[in-house]
Chains A and B, each alone.
Chain A
């Protein structure tokens, strides 16, 4: 059965729309992953030297035992951001004589194919062989490798479990990330406890009692089964699993009325975001990114360069544009024909998009004003990047939206629809993130950082001022692509 599923998935990949783009993205991802694995290999081989250098005066074995848990905490954070959930559209298989177990097993098993599961071995096994096996004996080395195997599997399924839960309820993602960040802060910032000593408690004992390696294996098995049973229990069409439906009332946003048709369109789009799980989690992600500044900004008035603020400022005021905008107009795929055939002109449609971006970014900018605590310059840079987002990034996103014809089915529910949040998506947004630096860096290197900021701000403002012209251009561009877009969207 697994073989059949694999074949079907390969077919769905090769026969999908945008196959060329998908392949290109996969190749770039592949190269990146390979590079990261090679880096990990390098670090792995010299880990004993690195540890001896960083923790000079401390026994390398103790240092090693200490960092393992730290690694896994960061591993979990990264996995939650980047690891992609295995996708198999289960619906067509549910009514066939296929055991639920084999579907769930397939989904659980394929999730193990991930570079994340390879890295810990590349990183730690060389050290275990070079140092642990020599210092102690083969049995201890084996118990270390088994423990690492166990914790890796545990992390793998824990991350996927959280992601799956988060797909149904975006708050879970926020809460889980928050907890992990607090755990890290508790050690590195507040010094309440030391993760390294907690880690050593286990791995230090492992040296004397190799049997303890069974513990990670047990928690791994436990996590696997939690994940497995969760999958199995949720292999229902969404309508079946959620019986109770609340009364859905009609809503209005009176303040949008003065924007005419564009305002009506924005009202619809706000409803789209609030009433569908996938865009809903996109916006909750955006909320999370409002805290991004806390990671980068340390002490008030201690800013040595503008780079972090440019990056963070663009992210915080523009994350919605990037995160939600990259799937434009796919969100509306299921009623795109209706939009085209109704009395709605394209210029209004595009105006509506600009209006939506402007409203949300303005809100994000207002929410980030408290960062002025870290210095007024940060606020200034945020404002510059806010202008940049409104002027330039919106236009770029809409330009690419005209070239996107991949359907997203909102009505299909989020439970088994995992395309959307993963590393590939971040890759697509890379050009957006790089462009402002391309402009700013030359000025900064020539020691005119203020001029650089002024140019960024002026470019953004200029683009906002000529929005009328940009809308005309985008409209013409839309007409050139509209048949391709609508045909792609019709293709279920």
Chain B
């Protein structure tokens, strides 16, 4: 589904992303871990054509991402609040995103009704603009809008951050189900090793811009990661 070839990106002489080769197959669920500054978000942004890499290409379904727009039809992503139009109400935002995908209002309403548990009564019909929601609730709006697009590829940057424990667990189940049941390829980064090993079948560990480990999740993976991150 996605192929990364020879991607390099430097900022002020420091190599922040250096991925010679990475292939993501259709239906995989991938977790990206690494300390701050490892290059996770930059890699995401390059994959979404938000940052121009110094060299290399990202190929999605056989087409180069940079300069093309076909990939947008099946890729949904939420990296940070910068993806939300914060002066809209959540409903308006959902209708807008739905409209981009030719979904009618009724369709959007139907879909949102299925997320009642996930929203926990804090998002819809609250009479607030997105900017007045808490960070966690903003994150829920972003994630929900991604799910609504019924993508083939879903990219989320630290989706578990800022949200309450119950929602984290609901989100884990949601992510597992869209990957296993609907076959959506998922790419998620997180600092929560428990969650990420629970949700993802394949873990990529980044350090200083490089992918230094690429492991299929097994019962020993969590321990392995904890050993890596434990500071001696």
A487 beta carbon closer than 8 Å to chain B: yes
* B60 at the binding interface (Cβ < 8 Å): no
Are A343 and B49 neighbours in the complex by a CB distance under 8 Å?
Answer: no
| Interchain CB contact (< 8 A) of B99 among A264, A334, A335 | A264
Chain B residues 22-57 with CB under 8 Å of chain A are 45, 48-52
Interface of A, helix, strand, loop or mixed by DSSP:
helix
- In the bound complex, residues from chain B placing their C-beta under 8 Å from that of A247 are 127
B81 proximity list for chain A (CB < 8 A): 334
Known interface pairs A250-B92, A342-B97, A344-B100. Does A335 touch B85 (Cβ–Cβ under 8 Å)?
yes
- Also in contact, A343 and B149, with CB within 8 A (given A268-B85, A411-B86): yes
Assembled-state Cα–Cα distance A334/B84 (Å): 8
Determine how close the nearest CB of chain A comes to the CB of B169; give it in whole angstroms. Answer: 27
CA distance A340 to B79 in the complex (A): 12
A337/B79 contact (C-beta < 8 A), A264-B96, A268-B96 known: yes
Our pick among A246, A248, A411 for the contact of B89 (Cβ within 8 Å) is: A248
B13-21, B110-118, B128-136, B192-200: which lies at the A interface? B128-136
Interface size class of A (residues with CB under 8 A): 20 to 34
Most buried by B among A271, A336, A342: A342
- Cβ-neighbour of B48 out of A336, A341, A410, A490 (below 8 A): A341
Q: Which residues of A contact B80 (CB under 8 A)?
A: 337
- Interface residue? B121 (CB, 8 A): no
A337 to B45, CA, bound (A): 9
Chain A 250-273 interface mask (CB, 8 Å, partner B; 1/0): 110000000001001000100110
Inter-subunit contact A338/B85 (CB<8 Å): yes
Q: Given A276-B87, A335-B82, A345–B69 Cβ distance below 8 Å?
A: yes
Which among A276, A341, A486 has the highest number of chain B CB atoms within 10 Å?
Answer: A341
Residue numbers in A under 8 Å from B129 (CB-CB): 248, 275
B160 to chain A, nearest CB (A): 20
Please indicate which of the listed interface residues A268, A337, A340 has the most CB atoms of chain B within 10 Å of its own CB: A337
A341 to B79, CA, bound (A): 10
Q: Quick one: closest B residue to A264, CB to CB?
A: B99
Tell me how far the C-beta of B153 lies from the nearest C-beta in chain A, rounded to whole angstroms. Answer: 12
Any B CB within 8 A of the CB of A249 = yes
Q: Known: A245-B132, A345-B69. Is A340-B92 also a contact (CB below 8 A)?
A: no
Asked if residues A340 and B50 are in contact (CB atoms below 8 Å), the reply is yes
- What's the Cα separation between A250 and B84 when bound, in Å? 16
Residues of A442-492 contacting chain B, CB below 8 A: 479, 483, 486-487, 490
Known contacts A275-B129, A345-B69, A483-B51; is-contact A490 B89 (Cβ 8 Å): no
Known contacts A338-B82, A344-B72; A249/B89 CB under 8 A: yes
Interfacial residues of chain A within 329-364, with CB under 8 A of chain B in the complex: 334-338, 340-346
Contact A343 B127 (CB under 8 A): no
Known A335-B83, A342-B100; 9 more pairs at CB < 8 Å:
A248-B129, A271-B92, A275-B129, A335-B86, A338-B84, A340-B49, A341-B72, A346-B69, A411-B86
Q: List 10 A-B contacts (CB under 8 A).
A: A245-B128, A245-B132, A248-B89, A268-B96, A335-B86, A341-B50, A343-B69, A343-B72, A343-B149, A490-B82
10 closest cross-chain pairs (CB), A and B: A247-B127, A338-B83, A343-B72, A337-B82, A275-B87, A483-B52, A335-B85, A341-B48, A250-B91, A250-B89
